[in-house]
Structure 1
Amino acid sequence: MQIYLPIAEVSVNAFLLLGLGGLVGILSGMFGVGGGFLLTPLLFFIGIPPAIAVATGANQVVASSISGVLAHLKRKTVDLKMGTVLLGGGLVGAGLGVRLFAYLQSIGQVELLVTLSYVVFLGIIGGLMLIESVRALMRSRSNPVPKRRKHGIVHALPVKTRFRTSGLYISVIPPVLVGFFVGVLSAIMGVGGGFIMVPAMIYLLHMPTKVVIGTSLFQIIFVAAFTTLMHAWENHTVDLGLAVLLIVGGVIGAQVGTRIGMRIKAEQTRILLALLVLGVCLNLAFGLLVEPSELYSIGEE
């Protein structure tokens, strides 16, 4: 069933959009990511303009994250205090990112920047996560008793507070900086930022993986919602018809993904997320390197 999207100015199959939303919702519930890092490139592939895909994709991220958080709250795997600290930095970063996005759109460089950002960040994060996750899985098989973590500079910084759900006593400075960086990416790339936040919370802040997923989704809800409102106000690039179909699929998928995620070991969860991130990265990189089927040139007659 084809529907016309007035803001995007394209016709798309409604069931295809529902399926994309559902797929991203499942990933959201399983891995604690908003899913925008996958949804936005998929929207590119089906013909949605980059500016519309970035801004509208954030709507679906909000819906799937809310659905996932509700499931995690029932299991008491959300650190609300940590999520609030991350959120403070995230809102500031998102505001700055939307302004930068508007400037790039005005000079016609949005599509190139968004695609390059995906390739660079997904490649780096996915590669590091895969290496560390494989090592962790091998250690867990050879020595089931976990070793005590050695705390680095993160734990030596001032302004410390206790995060009881995560079992941590650390400075609030690293979480604020992580939130700020993720907020900027959320605005520019149309993502919740979970693909960066989840590794940062695990490897930088040393939070337990099961708590990381719910806490990441909690922060993503508010940053993605703020990003959507800013894009609608500043850039007028939110297509409501597209958003509704993605949201319906995402809410259903997130509930399924949360149940799947609770049955998978922490090391396996991280490996699966790393492989997914690298897969999207390679697909986008391939699109940048391959010569397009139609070439255009601008010249004087």
Structure 2
Amino acid sequence: MSIYLPIAEVSVNIYLLLGLGGIVGFLSGMFGVGGGFLMTPLLMMIGIPPAVAVATEANQIVASSVSGALAQYRRGNVDVKMGLILLAGGIVGSVIGVQIVKILREIGQVDLVIKLTYVTMLSIIGSMMFIESVNAIRKSRKAGKKAGPVRKPGSHNWVHGLPFRMRFPRSKLYISIIPPIGVGILVGLLAAIMGVGGGFIMVPAMIYLLRMPTGVVVGTSLFQIGFVTILTTILNAVQNQTVDVVLALILMSSAVIGAQLGARVGSRLPGEQLRVLLALMVLAMCVKLAWGLVATPEELFSFAGGGE
């Protein structure tokens, strides 16, 4: 059964959309990511215009991330204090990112920039996560014991030498608020430009840069993602008019259920295995998008408009 999407101006099978929403919601709860790095390219692949896919997916992420965050909070896996610091940076990044999208639409380059940004970010992050996680698993197996965390909470690096330090009891950290704010700004930019929650950036940054325990990272990531995507959705709807409410509601309805199931499954897997699986998905989507940029299109001519 097909349904017409008024803002996207296309007809799509409603069961396909429900299935995509459920799968992405499951991944959100399992890995602590918004899932936009998978959903936004998938929406573009089924014919949704990139600008609409980006803005609408940010809306859908609200449902899956909030649902997943609540599930993680009940398990005690959310550092609210750290989440608020990340959120402060995310608000700044979101405002800047929405303005960048507006400018790109006016000059007619938004589609290309979105795809190039996806390929670049996914290739870098996916490769780094995969290599590090595989090395960690190999070392633990050679030692003849179960894989442990790559670092211990409270271990020191250059981050601990920065000013404006604050204690985060839940994460057992005493660090500067400058790195979390910087991570938040980057995630806010990605939410606006790529239609993602930014979890595939924030999760590794929280683990390797901020040295947070893996269990707390998932819930805290979802906490911050929920609020940032709410702001991004509102800004895109008001300034760019690219949020398709019908599409967002369909995706939300199944994403909420999927997030709850994903949170249960994710809590049973070791942190290293979760990172390997996430890295493989990131790299797979990167390859698909990169191929779409270099492959010869079926239609050699197309019409595209930049602004209104």
On whether the aligned pair clears a TM of 0.5, the verdict is yes
Q: Distance in 2 between matches of 1:129 and 1:52?
A: 29
Aligned to 2:180: 175
1:135 Cα deviation after fit: 1.1
Q: Distance in 1 between matches of 2:186 and 2:165?
A: 20
1:31 Cα deviation after fit: 0.5
The C-alpha deviation readout for 1:147-190, integer Å capped at 9, x for no partner, is 76552211110111111111111110000000001101110000
1:137 Cα deviation after fit: 1.2
- SS in structure 1 opposite 2:170? coil
Q: Are the counterparts in 2 of residues 126 and 277 from structure 1 also a CA contact under 8 Å?
A: yes
**Within-5 A mapping of 1:209-228:** 209-228=214-233
Q: Distance in 1 between matches of 2:102 and 2:302?
A: 26
- Asked if residue 253 in structure 1 is aligned to residue 258 in structure 2, the reply is yes
Q: Distance in 2 between matches of 1:268 and 1:297?
A: 43
Q: Distance in 2 between matches of 1:167 and 1:47?
A: 46
Aligned to 1:134: 134
Aligned to 1:265: 270
The C-alpha deviation readout for 1:251-286, integer Å capped at 9, x for no partner, is 010011101101111100000000000000000001
**Within-5 A mapping of 1:193-208:** 193-208=198-213
The C-alpha deviation readout for 1:117-156, integer Å capped at 9, x for no partner, is 0000000000000000011112222334767655221111
Structure 2 vs 1, CA of residues 188 and 273 (structure 1 numbering), >3 Å: closer, same or farther? same
Q: Are the counterparts in 2 of residues 201 and 212 from structure 1 also a CA contact under 8 Å?
A: yes
Q: Distance in 2 between matches of 1:262 and 1:189?
A: 28
Q: Are the counterparts in 1 of residues 57 and 196 from structure 2 also a CA contact under 8 Å?
A: yes
Aligned to 1:44: 44
Q: Pick from 158, 161, 165 the counterpart of residue 163 of structure 2.
A: 158
The C-alpha deviation readout for 1:60-97, integer Å capped at 9, x for no partner, is 10100011011101100000000000000000000000
1:296 Cα deviation after fit: 1.7
**Within-5 A mapping of 1:39-188:** 39-143=39-143, 144=145, 151-188=156-193
- SS in structure 2 opposite 1:165? helix
Q: Distance in 1 between matches of 2:276 and 2:205?
A: 15
Q: Distance in 2 between matches of 1:66 and 1:178?
A: 20
Q: Are the counterparts in 2 of residues 140 and 146 from structure 1 also a CA contact under 8 Å?
A: no
Q: Distance in 1 between matches of 2:74 and 2:171?
A: 16
Structure 2 vs 1, CA of residues 156 and 284 (structure 1 numbering), >3 Å: closer, same or farther? same
- SS in structure 2 opposite 1:43? helix
- SS in structure 2 opposite 1:161? strand
- SS in structure 1 opposite 2:223? helix
Q: Distance in 1 between matches of 2:52 and 2:94?
A: 17
Structure 2 vs 1, CA of residues 147 and 88 (structure 1 numbering), >3 Å: closer, same or farther? closer
Aligned to 2:306: none
- SS in structure 2 opposite 1:33? coil
Q: Distance in 2 between matches of 1:297 and 1:99?
A: 26
Q: Are the counterparts in 2 of residues 101 and 110 from structure 1 also a CA contact under 8 Å?
A: yes
Query: Gapped runs of 5+ residues in structure 2?
Result: 304-308
- SS in structure 1 opposite 2:3? strand
Q: Are the counterparts in 1 of residues 90 and 185 from structure 2 also a CA contact under 8 Å?
A: yes
- SS in structure 2 opposite 1:295? coil
Aligned to 2:16: 16
RMSD (Å), alpha carbons: 1.3
Q: Distance in 1 between matches of 2:302 and 2:278?
A: 40
